[in-house]
Amino acid sequence: MIIVMKPKAKQESIERVKSIIEENGLLTHISAGHEVTIIGVIGDKTKLKEQNLAIYDEVDKIVDVTESYKLANKKFHPEPTIVYVGNVAIGGDTTVVMSGPCAVENRQQLLATAYAIKKAGAHILRGGVYKPRTSPYSFQGLEEKGLSYMKEAKEATGLPVVCEVTSLEAIESAVKYVDMLQIGARNMQNFYLLKEAGKTGLPVLLKRGLSATIDEWLNAAEYIISAGNPNVVLCERGIRTFETATRNTLDISSVPVIKTKSHLPIIVDPSHATGVRDYVKSLSQAAVAAGADGLMIETHPDPSIALSDGPQSLSFDQFEDLMGALRPLVALLGKKM
Ligand code: PEP
Ligand code: MN
């Protein structure tokens, strides 16, 4: 439930309502807007049944929040959240592009990619070093060595870096090197990992699970936020459907749905959504037009020899072409890139 205070309610009224809730063993979350303060109530609200909060000064209305996620809910926090990754703001007026190889393969490959994507106008470098591969015989990633290359690429280009983490050990290593942790689709409901990522305080890129509903995805975000970390960016990366022409089906409708239900930024990954590089440009445009706060695009110096996800990776020329195609669209939407 949320308690909406009257416009310009006095601080002492807000404090009084907050302490009544807390005295009943519940948690509060304050969202102070320009005019109106909203007090979110977390916990078993039946404990408040003896208390008629409506009688207190300056309470405007009490609204039930039926969704199980609260801190990720727009009703608790009507203003959009902006997440800072290094000095890059996600969720504001800039369409943020993250790009890089599926897997960090060697120092040369990563540095070449970092320079190329920076030149084309990307904001954040991605690169996997703990790869959740379908087959145990596929390339599994360079682990800590790869993290050191990511850090070197960051220092060389100034681009903040994001890496997927798949275990507690991976988190413990990654926090020493990266600006943002990625929780991949396969781990979206690894609740232990979500809580551990939450405890780090680093921004978290939370990919949608292969078969997760939007509700389950927002509950996964709730695990991170409730561990004390509000810096969550959602990433739509396609879901399993009956269609086989593409690797997954990009659920473009998740963008406006998330914008309606949550204050968290959302980006779209058309590379994993389609698995086919020829479809990446048009779906990037569709995502931006639908209101996505950014994109994640896989790139490789030579996709034909990539150790992972070559068929969906763009060459540097193709990436530059994509960025050029996005610019007028982003400008038309009144945003920056
Ligand atoms: C990735 O981004 O490298 C990745 C494995 O993506 P997903 O978790 O969406 O499959
Ligand atoms: Mn990949």
Looking at the 3D structure of the chain, how many domains does it have?
Answer: 2
SS3 letters across 245-261: CCCCECCCCHHHHHHHH
For the entire predicted model, the pTM comes to 0.96
Nearest residue to 310 (alpha-carbon basis) of 254, 271, 282, 262: 271
CATH for 53: 3.30.70.1140
pLDDT (tens digit per residue) in 193-237: 999 999 999 999 999 999 999 999 999 999 999 999 999 999 999
Separation of CA 137 and ligand 2 centre (Å): 16
Q: Is 94 exposed, middle or buried (0-12, 13-18, 19+ CB in 10 A)?
A: middle
Instruction: Let me know: does 70 contact 27? Beta carbons within 8 Å.
Output: no
The helix/strand count (H/E) of the chain reads as 10, 14
Question: Mean pLDDT, the chain, as a whole number?
Answer: 96
- How confident is the model at residue 298, as a pLDDT? 98
Which of 142, 165, 237 has the most ligand 1 atoms within 8 A of CB, as the residue to mutate? 237
Phi and psi angles of residue 207, each rounded to the nearest 5 degrees, phi first: -80, 150
Residues 133 and 256 occupy one common structural domain? yes
- Does 166 share its domain with 32? no
Say whether both 173 and 255 belong to one domain.
yes
Pocket residues for ligand 1 (CB within 6 Å)?
102, 128, 132, 164, 184-186, 207, 237, 272
Using the atom order of ligand 1, give the atom closest to the CA of residue 132. Answer: 5
pLDDT tens-digit series, residues 288-328: 999 999 999 999 999 999 999 999 999 999 999 999 999 99
pLDDT tier, 46 (very low <50, low <70, confident <90, very high otherwise): confident
Same domain, yes or no: 111 and 36 = no
Q: So what's the pLDDT on residue 132?
A: 86
44 part of a folded domain: yes
- Between the CA of 26 and the centroid of ligand 1 the distance, in Å, is 37
167 and 302 inside one domain: yes
Q: Which ligand is nearest to the CA of 275?
A: 2
Ligand 2 centroid – CA 240 distance (Å): 16
Give the ligand with the smallest distance to the CA of 209.
1
75 falls within a domain: no
Inside any domain, residue 168? yes
Q: Which residues surround ligand 2, an ion (CB under 5 A)?
A: 102, 309
For residues 190 and 44, state if they share a domain.
no
**CB-based contacts of 102, cutoff 8 Å, min separation 6:** 128, 131, 271, 298, 300, 306, 307, 308, 309, 312, 313
Say yes or no: 101 and 51 in one domain: no
Give the number of other Cβ atoms within 10 Å of residue 331's Cβ: 12
The CATH number of residue 125's host domain is 3.20.20.70
User: Do 156 and 17 share a structural domain?
Assistant: no
Output Rg (C-alpha) for the chain, integer angstroms. Answer: 21
Domain extent at residue 11: 2-63
Kindly tell me if the per-residue pLDDT of 107 is higher than 80: yes
Residue 222 CB coordination number (10 Å): 22
State whether 195 and 251 are in the same domain: yes
Q: How far is the CA of 184 from the centre of ligand 1 (A)?
A: 5
CB 248 within 8 A of CB 98: no
